[in-house]
Amino acid sequence: MSTEESAQANAHVAHAMRFALAAIAVLGLVSCAKAPLAELADGSVPGISAPELRSSQHRLHLDLDAVLDAHGLPSFAYGGHTGPAPTLRVEPGDRVEIALHNLMHPQPGLTNDVNLHFHGLVISPRAPADDVLTTLARPGQTLHYAFTIPPNHEPGLYWYHPHVHGETFWQVAHGMSGALVVEGLERHLPALARMRERLVVLRQAPARSDITEPGNAPVSAEAAEDGDGNPCRPEVALLPSIDGVRRERIEIAPGERQFFRVLNASASRYFDLSIDGTLLQVVALDGVPLDAYPGASPVMTVKHIVIAPAGRAEFVVTGPPTPRILRSACFDSGPAGDAQTAAILGEIVPGGPAPAPSPALALSTIGAPLPHNGLGDTAPRPAIRRTIRLTEDANRFYINGKSFDMAAMDAPPVVVAHAGTVEEWNIVNDTDEGHDFHIHQVHFVVEQVNGVVNKSRHWVDTANVPSRIHHIYTTEPGRMRILVDFRNPIVRGTFLFHCHILDHEDRGMMAKIAVL
């Protein structure tokens, strides 16, 4: 082999390893060096908070409007004010009732229909619960949602957002979403009850503030991030933020332990989060406590954590003695992937009340056991093994060779599963960009990525499938093997799985699944 061929081979091997590790890093296990960034300037804009609604007497009711803002862009409005949608706080067993009023009007190229998906909640996929296939409010119409949080539901962070095929990226990218917290994690880890909680909603919205026509704003990450393929190239039209605020100031008293609940509500961006010189103690991913998976530790200490689009991470931060930067490192999502450049999101500064004594998050602090819902049981042998293939061309995205089309609603589901079983899926990504795999209603565990066994397993509802691996003479697809849980009897009916890079979903990378 020549010197040039040897260098090419080494480069391709490094590229392959980088994507295998990046996929597992979505679960928060891999640490890598951060590119140096300019420090946060003084006088940062204080953060903004979404309104909060708590259930009362086991019931929560929300009247929510879908509106066009002063720039003609889609937004939620609550109590007459546009902005972050309310954070909903409920207990297991609570009844949730939501009236969604569509006060938008059609625009050129946009129907401006709307509905809601309750991302991560294990509730029925049938109306009036989490049905996004047949439940739709056209302009002037109102939807009425009503469902009960199961008494044995996992405590943790979830969220809600529109799911109108073809316009999901457009609506979610402009901030149409809200957090949903199922309370009770502190009953499992009592130390959390003594900590201040901080809800962090990560977004990535169009940068221009003078957009007057929808056509002037990016409708996909590809349109916004067109470039030479460098994953760390400057972003063109999408800016990361914490609930719309760039470089938020977050106060933590030195030595204080705060409980961070972080939601990636962006339409397409991966966030690789870290706080300079500070460890993160992760206790839950995608709404599920870590040790809901049999044999897993309740706490995972990491230097950084990758949160894929739609993913959530809940962790404890100990206040440093001096200001530190909260940043997102550059994330390489493949040769054809969108730019995922490094960004400063905020600054952790000393401040706030003196910390109350708090026990360490250790195995000895575990309180009441988690409610029995099947996730803590050892999974049986897979009832079936499937291959799910992800492909794309210049115009569309595909699952098993088919591009999703709402006009073909009567088409049979790609997957028919049986309640009470688990299945093993081999997700094959035959494209040059990573895809953020999400299944409605259920959780799954990542077993392998590109043949590398995942030794730290947890239940999640989103995970990155790495892009193709290019060798000197051959190319092989990226692969992720998962175990999908269909044991909860609530999950019966027809729902969806798709790429949660939402412009990929809008352009066809979505399919139906029926659980009988």
Give residue-wise pLDDT tens across range 110-144.
999 999 999 999 999 999 999 999 999 999 999 99
DSSP-derived letter for residue 278 is: B
Same domain (yes/no): 99, 179: yes
Separation between Cα atoms, residue 298 and residue 281, nearest integer Å: 10
E-assigned strand segments in 69-155: 74-78, 81-82, 87-90, 95-102, 117-119, 142-148
Same domain (yes/no): 381, 500: yes
Same domain (yes/no): 141, 282: no
CA distances from 97 to 12, 58, 60 (A): 52, 11, 6
E-assigned strand segments in 212-252: 238-242, 248-251
Q: Say what the pLDDT of residue 230 is.
A: 66
Is residue 343 within 8 A of residue 240, CB to CB? The reply is yes
Q: Say what the pLDDT of residue 3 is.
A: 43
Which domain range does residue 126 map to?
52-185
Q: Say what the pLDDT of residue 376 is.
A: 65
Residue 19 CB neighbours (<10 A):
25
> Which CATH number is 333's domain given?
2.60.40.420
The answer to the question of residue 132 being in a domain is yes
Same domain (yes/no): 177, 63: yes
Same domain (yes/no): 208, 341: yes
Q: What phi and psi, each to the nearest 5 degrees, are found at residue 203?
A: -135, 170
Q: Say what the pLDDT of residue 166 is.
A: 93
Instruction: Decide which of 154, 185, 216 is a domain's last residue.
Output: 185
* Per-residue H/E/C for 253-282: CCCCEEEEEEEECCCCCCEEEEECCECEEE
Q: What phi and psi, each to the nearest 5 degrees, are found at residue 416?
A: -120, 115
Structural domains counted in the chain: 3
Same domain (yes/no): 197, 339: yes
Two tokens at 229?
A: 């393929």
Strand 397-399, strand 469-470: pairing: unpaired
Same domain (yes/no): 431, 410: yes
The answer to the question of residue 42 being in a domain is no
Q: Say what the pLDDT of residue 36 is.
A: 28
Please identify every stretch of the chain with a pLDDT value under 50, giving residue numbers as ranges.
1-48, 209-213, 215-216, 223-226, 363-365
Same domain (yes/no): 127, 180: yes
Nearest by Cα to 143 from 89, 59, 66: 66
The answer to the question of residue 462 being in a domain is yes
Is residue 352 within 8 A of residue 196, CB to CB? The reply is yes
Two tokens at 513?
A: 């699944």
Residue 163 CB neighbours (<10 A):
27
Total-model pTM: 0.85
DSSP-derived letter for residue 40 is: P
Instruction: Decide which of 339, 365, 391 is a domain's last residue.
Output: 365
Same domain (yes/no): 137, 194: no
Same domain (yes/no): 106, 170: yes
Same domain (yes/no): 176, 192: no
Same domain (yes/no): 144, 211: no
Nearest by Cα to 29 from 500, 455, 489, 491: 455
Instruction: Decide which of 317, 343, 365 is a domain's last residue.
Output: 365
The answer to the question of residue 344 being in a domain is yes
DSSP-derived letter for residue 115 is: -
The answer to the question of residue 469 being in a domain is yes
The answer to the question of residue 99 being in a domain is yes
Q: Say what the pLDDT of residue 513 is.
A: 96
Q: Say what the pLDDT of residue 231 is.
A: 66
Q: Say what the pLDDT of residue 28 is.
A: 39
The answer to the question of residue 27 being in a domain is no
The answer to the question of residue 121 being in a domain is yes
